[in-house]
Each structure stands twice: as structure tokens, then as C-alpha cells.
Amino acid sequence: MEIIVPKSSGFCPGVKRAEDGVFQLKEKTPKVNLHGPLIHNQIYTSMLESKGIETVDTESLPEGETLVIRTHGISMQEEKKLAQKFVLKDLTCPIVKRVQKHIEKAAHEESFVIISGKEGHAEVQGLVSYAKDHIVIETENELEKFLKDYKNIIPENYKQIFILSQTTHSRIFFEHICDAIKNTITHIPVVIKDTICAVTENKEKESLELQKTVDWTIVIGDPHSSNSKKLYTILKKASENTLFTKNLVDLQEIKDDWVNTNKVLVVSSASTPLFIEQEIVAYLKNI
């Protein structure tokens, strides 16, 4: 059986930077304090915990300790509060950090901020803290409700609308939101900023091309990871012979019959560690 792994498979540069940062800290101290999971992958989180790199309760963490801000970032208010008590090591993804700055600038320019994304997602919770008045839109139903009632949602004093996206959200939906709002709201300018992660998009495009040549596709990721679920959704839509798994054990439970399978595409999400992918690839090669 031939196994194909895209060049872009696995950790994105932002996650690699965060991983390097925590392991560099670990060389200097027996314990590294994380403000929430570094990434959305429980297997990886458990591995870090076994090495003394773990999420801590900031209420009980002694003052002066070093605290790592995870890749998704945190709210502006919380960052200021934590900086008064701890030494912060900010490992927020640089792309997410730039999006925060875009929103902060838009707020100073009296813009009403619209984010294409998931309200409860860790990244979005940080992003909205940089806005004044804002709305997060995740579904078609939420978009329809906003378009019907936008005159009561957007304060009259705003000079423009600023639309952007959670870095891992759907481009198709983001562009749909932009078109719908531009066509409906015409009395004030609508400014659009493309903030979707290009690295994630390139992985999706590369995987879609390679998928055309294989019998099966395996997407590796955590069920709670937005970028993992989006990658799977895109590839599943292109081919029914697409599986989602979090590790080898999970894969073996989903599918153990690979008869008449000659070529398989294995692609890991941006928050999937290499060791999980390597185990699955080794297993498939030995069939």
C-alpha cells in the first residue's frame, strides 16, 4: 500500500513556534505553566502534562511565576490583569496577534466589527475583546437575523462596518457574509479584511489535489479542533472515502479492512502532533 502525506501536513508555523517556546522554557525550569491548553488536541496535551508542561489555575499560581499564553490568545483585559501578577510568555499565533491589532485599529476608527467565526472559540473570545460593539456570525440563520435587524444592532454613531474572519473559519462562508452585508447595508462603508490563515488554506488545497489520486483519505485531528473539523469537512465533501480519526486506536475501530486499497492519503490538521501521524503511517505501510 502506498501512503501519501502532504508536505503541509501537521503543525502550522504558529503551533511549531509555540511548541519550541514551551520546550525552551522547560530546559530552564522543572515546570511550565500554561494558560489553557497550548492547542486543541487532548493527546498532545496529555503528552505535555507528562513532561511537566501543563495548564494551571492562575488564582493559585504564585506571583512572579512565568505564565505561557497559548496559541489562540486571550482577551485584552485578561492579558493586562495577568501581566500585573505574572511574567507572561506570549505564544499567541502571530497571525492571530495581527488580527487582534486589526480589530483594535478598527475600534479606534469607530467601526462596528463583524467576525465570521464561532462565538465560544478561544481565538474569537480573544478577538472580540479588542472591539467596542461587535457581532460574531457562525451560521446562515445568524446572518439572516442580523440582516433583518441590523438597524437596531449597529449603533448610529458608527462610521463604517469592518468584517473579518476567525483565522480557521470557512472562506466560503466568510465571502458569503461579506457579499450579503455589502448588498444589504449601503448607507455606510463596508471594509473587509481577509484574515483567514493562508497556511491552513494551502494545506486544504494541496490535500484536495492529492486526494484525486488515492483510494482513501485519512484526516487526523482532535474532535474539538476547529481546523481539524474544517479540513475533514472539505475533504469529505470531495470524496466519500474520507475518514476522521484522532489516533491509531481510533482508526482501527473505524476501519480495519483495507482490502483492494492501493493508495491512501494521510493528512494531519494544524494541531496534530507528528508522532500520531507517524504511528498511523507505519501501521498502514505494514498492512
Query: Hey, which residues are catalytic here?
Result: 123
H/E stretch holding 191 reads: strand 190-192
Whole-number Cα distances in Å, 277 to 11, 26, 116, 242, 247:
11, 24, 30, 16, 8
How many C-alpha atoms does 90 have within 13 Å on its Cβ side?
A: 14
Cell of 113: 466589527
Query: Which are the contacts of 201, defined by CB distance < 8 A and separation ≥ 6?
Result: 171
Q: Which of 44, 12, 54 is nearest to 276 (CA)?
A: 44
CB 38 within 8 A of CB 22: yes
